[in-house]
């Protein structure tokens, strides 16, 4: 019994770390979907570009982790705002499929460019010195950097949730989700709100990329691999529900790594089995609200 | 030169997709005037209002709000001139609280009423300020929808069937509120099927049929020809 516990505990914490990255990605994805009604397939590439920017800043300019944590999201956010303004905004009034195809296409372009420039091999990003080493949690030792990732993710996700639920800017977002046309008649620039939301979601992906750089290998396809799971999480959490996606991210991160011990062959399948089961039992997701069509 | 009227619509055509709803409609609302649109369901009263605030994109002709071209200008800019709209379905956001709904509009000047003044005018809303918009009764939603554009400081209000489906006591309350708005000098365009109610509050009347103005009446003409009006609009 004690052996099993000792075997599961590290997996549990590993799951928390993966869940932290999933959460940052899925929150951005769900906020973008909730407001823009765009399935942002390029989210994984924005994550990858965030990680690459941090890597390049370090290797070519000697700019360290903490600055990268600010610069990478800023650059990705601004570039994404420009893309939303010039391209994605033209897709709102036509079939959702075009948004999906466009962002998928953009992903292929970005991944192709990064592979062309840097090759497809993964590159290592060294853990920043101030966060290296391990922490004694009392019952186990845990890498200090990974603990930082969990705390940072929880703070950012809760911050996003509070921003949406408790602030005036958040009330604009919720109103725009319900009826954007009417919101314009109250003097609110809804187009700008959509651009800002898209930039914010993309910036969160870049934060996740920077945080993930020292844990995973930095490579052109790191986004694609992780997004397959993140899309499943967003479906499980309930499309558009921030609370649901945060909870689902951590739950599934843990479910995935714990399955690695209990039933290793099924580990990479676990998330999708849960998604399939949930779609049958509760199609609106864990916390999703059934939406009336408008 | 004279100041432009609050609202000046000329030869307006509007479409929902392929369906041509307004056929060269023209009307004006002077500063401080209350003007009623009378007509059956489906003659274009709501379409006119949606065209003015810019919810309906396909418009031809001229819409001027204090002289500004409302077709060429973005909807949020037109709203910022002081145009307030209460849609027929009231447009209360179900996932926002009463208070959040109330303070949603951008306030650009000192013309807006404070929340204290509004709660004095609508004590019910104060009691329910923390409730979600979706939990309000029809009458409360209507009060909130009007309160919301008062908060914004609208000087020209478009009220689409504000009394529809409401109990007499609430209709009376809305009548009182409109009298207060008139005293404040706010210009009002109101779509109304309740002729008795319209006759009490409006200064001028337009009869609308098939997307056009068929008659423009002042107050005396309207009161003198109530029966004719009833027959012609079939309400």
Q: Which of A215-219, A279-283, A290-294, B77-81 has the lowest mean pLDDT?
A: A290-294
* pLDDT, position A293: 35
Which stretches within A1-143 are classed as H helix?
2-36, 43-61, 65-86, 96-118
What is the residue whose two structure tokens read 């939990």? B135
Model confidence at A292, pLDDT cuts 50, 70, 90, reads very low
A vs B, Cβ pairs < 8 A, gives 61
Identify whether A43 is part of a domain: yes
**Residue B190 belongs to what H/E stretch?**
strand B187-191
Q: A184 and B54 in contact by Cβ < 8 A? A: yes
Model confidence at A151, pLDDT cuts 50, 70, 90, reads very high
Model confidence at A66, pLDDT cuts 50, 70, 90, reads very high
Q: Which residues of chain B fall short of a pLDDT of 50?
A: none
- Supply the ipTM of this predicted assembly: 0.91
Which positions 84-113 of B are in contact with A (Cβ < 8 Å)? 84-85, 87, 91, 93-96, 100, 103-106, 108
Write down the domain spans for chain B.
Answer: 7-91+153-233
Identify whether A149 is part of a domain: yes
Tell me the pLDDT tens digit for each residue of A228-264.
899 999 888 887 788 889 999 999 999 888 888 878 8
The answer to whether A218 and A51 are in contact (CB under 8 A) is yes
Which positions 161-180 of A are in contact with B (Cβ < 8 Å)? 168, 171-172, 174-175, 177-179
Using a pLDDT cut of 90, give the percent of chain A over it: 62
**Per-residue pLDDT for A286 more than 80?**
no
**Chain B hits for A184, Cβ within 8 Å:** 53-55, 74-76, 79
Q: A185 and B79 in contact by Cβ < 8 A? A: yes
* pLDDT, position A294: 33
Identify whether A17 is part of a domain: no
Q: Could you tell me which of A218, A221, A65 has the C-alpha nearest to residue A144?
A: A65
**Per-residue pLDDT for A287 more than 80?**
no
**Per-residue pLDDT for A291 more than 60?**
no
Nearest by CB to A175, from B53, B79, B96: name it: B96
Calculated CA dihedral for residues B173, B175, B178, B184, nearest 10 degrees: -80
* pLDDT, position A225: 84
Dig out the tokens for A101 from the structure: 């195809």
Model confidence at A270, pLDDT cuts 50, 70, 90, reads confident
For the segment A3-27, the average pLDDT, to the nearest whole number, is: 87
**Residue B150 belongs to what H/E stretch?**
helix B138-152
Identify whether A253 is part of a domain: no
Identify whether A249 is part of a domain: no
d(CA A257, CA B222): 77
User: Which burial class, exposed, middle or buried, applies to A12 when counting CB atoms under 10 A from its CB (0-12, 13-18, 19+)?
Assistant: middle
Q: Which residue of B has its CA nearest to A176?
A: B93
First-to-last CA distance in chain B? 41
d(CA A72, CA A60): 14
Give me the phi and psi of B162, to 5 degrees please. -70, -20
Task: Provide the domain limits for residue A138.
Answer: 24-222
The CATH class for the domain spanning B7-91+153-233 reads: alpha beta
Dig out the tokens for A36 from the structure: 């823009």
For the segment A214-224, the average pLDDT, to the nearest whole number, is: 92
* pLDDT, position A267: 76
Tell me the pLDDT tens digit for each residue of A176-192.
999 999 999 999 999 99
Per the structure, the count of domains in chain A is 1
Q: Could you tell me which of B11, B4, B155 has the C-alpha nearest to residue B79?
A: B155
What's the mean per-residue pLDDT of chain A? Answer: 90
């Amino acid at each position: 019994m004690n052996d099993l516990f000792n075997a599961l505990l590290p997996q549990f914490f590993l799951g928390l770390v993966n869940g932290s990255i999933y959460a940052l990605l899925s929150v951005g994805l769900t906020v973008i979907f909730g407001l823009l009604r765009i399935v942002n397939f390029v989210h994984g590439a924005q994550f990858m570009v965030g990680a690459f920017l941090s890597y390049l800043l370090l290797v070519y300019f000697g700019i360290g982790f903490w600055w990268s944590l600010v610069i990478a999201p800023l650059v990705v956010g601004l570039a994404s705002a420009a893309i939303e303004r010039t391209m994605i905004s033209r897709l709102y009034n036509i079939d959702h499929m075009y948004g999906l195809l466009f962002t998928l296409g953009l992903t292929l372009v970005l991944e192709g460019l990064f592979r062309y420039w840097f090759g497809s091999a993964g590159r290592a990003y060294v853990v920043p010195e101030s966060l290296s080493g391990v922490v004694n949690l009392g019952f186990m030792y845990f890498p200090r950097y990974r603990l930082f990732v969990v705390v940072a993710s929880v703070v950012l996700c809760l911050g996003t949730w509070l921003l949406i639920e408790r602030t005036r800017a958040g009330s604009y977002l919720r109103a725009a989700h319900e009826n954007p046309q009417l919101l314009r008649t109250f003097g609110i620039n809804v187009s700008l709100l959509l651009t800002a939301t898209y930039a914010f979601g993309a910036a969160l992906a870049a934060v996740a990329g920077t945080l993930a750089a020292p844990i995973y290998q930095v490579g052109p396809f790191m986004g694609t691999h992780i997004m397959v799971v993140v899309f499943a999480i967003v479906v499980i959490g309930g499309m558009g529900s921030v609370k649901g996606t945060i909870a689902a991210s951590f739950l599934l991160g843990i479910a995935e790594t714990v399955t690695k011990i209990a039933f290793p062959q099924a580990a990479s399948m676990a998330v999708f089995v849960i998604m399939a089961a949930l779609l049958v039992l509760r199609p609106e997701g864990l916390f999703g609200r059934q939406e009336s069509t408008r | 030169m004279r100041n432009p009227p609050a609202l000046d619509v000329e030869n307006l055509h509007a479409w929902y997709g392929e369906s041509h709803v307004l056929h060269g409609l023209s009307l004006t609302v002077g500063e401080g005037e209350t003007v009623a649109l009378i007509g059956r369901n489906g003659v274009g009263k709501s379409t006119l209002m949606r065209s003015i605030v810019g919810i309906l994109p396909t418009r031809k002709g001229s819409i001027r709000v204090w002289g500004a071209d409302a077709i060429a200008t973005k909807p949020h800019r037109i709203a910022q001139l002081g145009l307030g709209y209460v849609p027929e379905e009231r447009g209360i956001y179900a996932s926002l609280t009463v208070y959040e709904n109330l303070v949603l509009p951008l306030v650009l000047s000192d013309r807006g009423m404070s929340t204290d003044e509004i709660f004095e005018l609508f004590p019910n809303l104060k009691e329910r300020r923390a409730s979600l918009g979706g939990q309000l009764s029809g009458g409360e939603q209507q009060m909130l929808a009007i309160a919301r554009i008062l908060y914004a400081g609208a000087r020209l209000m478009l009220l689409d069937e504000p009394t529809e489906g409401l109990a007499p006591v609430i209709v009376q309350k809305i009548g009182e509120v409109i009298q207060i708005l008139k005293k404040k000098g706010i210009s009002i365009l109101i779509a109304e099927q309740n002729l008795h109610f319209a006759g009490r509050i409006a200064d001028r009347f337009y009869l609308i049929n098939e997307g056009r103005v068929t008659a423009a009446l002042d107050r005396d003409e309207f009161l003198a020809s109530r029966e004719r009006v009833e027959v012609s609009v079939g309400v």
